[in-house]
Amino acid sequence: MKIIMLGAPGAGKGTQAKMIAEKYEIPHISTGDIFRANIKNGTDLGREAKKYMDQGLLVPDELTVKILLDRVAQADCENGYVLDGFPRTIPQAEVLDEALTKLGEKIDYAINVDVPDDHIVTRMSGRRACLKCGATYHMEHIPPKKEGICDNCGSELVLRDDDKPETVQNRLKVYHEQTQPLIDFYTEKGVLKTVDGTLEMQDVFAAITAILG
């Protein structure tokens, strides 16, 4: 079962992707995680990606496509995978579609987690991250036990640059311009399913599992 998660930044698609991966025992593949690992390790790709991410811009296709195709060719993807953060643009979707067709494969479901922009700005500005161990929190929904301190390693929590309201607004603008057309693309393919992302996390997941069976 090959699944793509769609939705604006902060719509909760990453959380849902992890839950899907766990339930159906398939890998959760997040381009964001791949980029962050490269940034943390100081690779050339990481430095290049960081320039774009810090401005709330999308990482260019050529930096993204190769990593992803290598990843889905690995043995643990044999029974499927959940893609989170890719494709973000029509050219990426076309490259992925072409690559899968050559393998005699295709995307089975594109799940669109639909959340209005104003919800997203509020949601993302409440996020806090530990730069040391990678743990993430939300001041309202998943607060740390001690304000500003990571439960796991005791390091200081920060509001990441890409979660600041002004950056989020820019990311949403980019999303609507470049990523929104994917909804039409996968609708035409007959694989798009939309769920209400403003519901409680477990209710969103229940709606998704009802679709996937």
SS (H, E, C) the chain: CEEEEECCCCCCHHHHHHHHHHHHCCCEEEHHHHHHHHHHCCCHHHHHHHHHHCCCCCCCHHHHHHHHHHHHCCHHHCCCEEEECCCCCHHHHHHHHHHHHHCCCCCCEEEEEECCHHHHHHHHHCEEEECCCCCEEECCCECCCECCECCCCCCEEECCHHHCHHHHHHHHHHHHHHHCHHHHHHHHHCCEEEEECCCCHHHHHHHHHHHHC
> What is the model's pLDDT at position 175?
87
- Residue 186 maps to a domain: yes
Give me the count of residues in the chain.
Answer: 213
- Residue 157 maps to a domain: no
Question: How many structural domains is the chain composed of?
Answer: 1
More confident residue, 142 or 35: 142
- Residue 67 maps to a domain: yes
Residue 65 confidence class, pLDDT cut points 50, 70, 90: confident
- Residue 130 maps to a domain: no
* CA 54-118-199 angle, 5° bins: 110
Which range in 20-34, 90-104, 191-205 is most confidently predicted, on average pLDDT? 191-205
- Residue 40 maps to a domain: yes
Tell me if 127 sits within 8 A of 138, measured CB to CB.
Answer: yes
More confident residue, 65 or 28: 28
pLDDT exceeds 90 at position 189: yes
What is the extent of the structural domain holding 57? 2-115+178-212
- Residue 134 maps to a domain: no
**CATH number of residue 183's parent domain:** 3.40.50.300
Which is the catalytic residue, given 13, 36, 123, 128?
13
More confident residue, 117 or 44: 117
Tell me the percentage of the chain whose pLDDT exceeds 90: 54
> What is the model's pLDDT at position 41?
86
Which is the catalytic residue, given 18, 50, 71, 160?
160
> What is the model's pLDDT at position 83?
95
Q: Catalytic residue at 71?
A: no
- Residue 144 maps to a domain: no
Q: What is the mean pLDDT of the chain?
A: 90
C-alpha to C-alpha distance for 50 and 21, rounded to whole angstroms: 27
Q: Catalytic residue at 36?
A: no
- Residue 171 maps to a domain: no
> What is the model's pLDDT at position 27?
94
